[in-house]
């Protein structure tokens, strides 16, 4: 309330910014609605969806699922603008980029599991896994920082959801990845 009554508050500018955000949301919803309508028509045999249309729907679904699971939390932590930029990066991803991301995810998993067997987060394999993780992040982040990468790695251990994901096949994997990333980023003080 104090913000609204502040003499420096520019109500017109605030409304313009709010309008822009609403228009962006509407465009996303229009795209999703069109995709659902095409899917329904394709299910009814009235039309066929192109691979590109299916891929657009897949990306939209991925963004929405991420928003449902982590959106509020991510927006509180990183801000609306950073989350929207990440969402746009996913929505603008090409099929070729998606294939590269999938390949990178598999390679990261394989290298991380091999590195874990060595028990050395500073070792060559663990550092390769940390670099692969950085490459993977860059598909979602519009700019990389060692500090943010280290912070995310710490969250993998501190947040039980992420720890459970990394530890599901091998207990201790989340902590190992964190330690490898902390070495990689030089943030292991």
What is the residue whose two structure tokens read 């609605």?
A: 33
Per-residue pLDDT tens over the stretch 71-101: 888 888 888 888 888 888 888 888 899 899 8
Q: Are residues 104 and 48 in the same domain?
A: no
CATH number of residue 131's parent domain: 1.10.490.50
Using the 3D structure, point to which of 45, 74, 91 is the last residue of a domain.
Answer: 91
In the chain, the N- to C-terminal Cα span, in Å, equals 42
State if pTM tops 0.75.
Answer: no
**Whether residue 103 is found in the same domain as residue 79:** no
**Of 52, 68, 91, which residue is a domain's last?**
91
CA atoms within a 13 Å half-sphere pointing along the CA-CB vector of 43: 6
Say whether both 120 and 75 belong to one domain: no
Tell me whether residue 2 is in a domain.
no
Q: Give the Cα separation of 128 and 185 in Å (integer).
A: 12
> Tens of pLDDT along 117-130?
999 999 999 999 99
What's the domain count of the chain?
A: 2
Query: Is there a contact between 163 and 157 (Cβ–Cβ < 8 Å)?
Result: yes
Structural domain of 61: 11-91
């Amino acid at each position: 309330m104090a913000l609204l009554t502040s003499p420096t508050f520019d109500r017109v500018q605030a409304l313009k910014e709010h309008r822009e955000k609403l228009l962006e949301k509407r465009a996303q919803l229009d795209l999703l609605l069109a995709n659902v309508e095409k899917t329904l028509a394709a299910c009814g045999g009235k039309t066929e969806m192109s691979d590109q249309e299916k891929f657009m729907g897949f990306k939209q679904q991925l963004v929405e699922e991420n928003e449902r699971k982590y959106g509020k939390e991510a927006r509180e932590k990183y801000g609306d603008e950073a989350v929207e930029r990440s969402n746009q990066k996913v929505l603008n991803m090409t099929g070729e980029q998606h294939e590269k991301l999938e390949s990178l995810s598999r390679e990261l998993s394989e290298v991380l599991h091999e590195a874990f067997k060595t028990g050395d987060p500073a070792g060559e394999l663990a550092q390769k896994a940390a670099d692969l993780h950085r490459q993977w992040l860059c598909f979602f982040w519009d700019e990389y920082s060692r500090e943010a990468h280290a912070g995310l790695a710490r969250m993998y251990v501190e947040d039980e959801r992420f720890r459970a994901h990394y530890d599901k096949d091998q207990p201790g994997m989340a902590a190992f990845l964190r330690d490898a990333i902390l070495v990689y980023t030089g943030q292991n003080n």
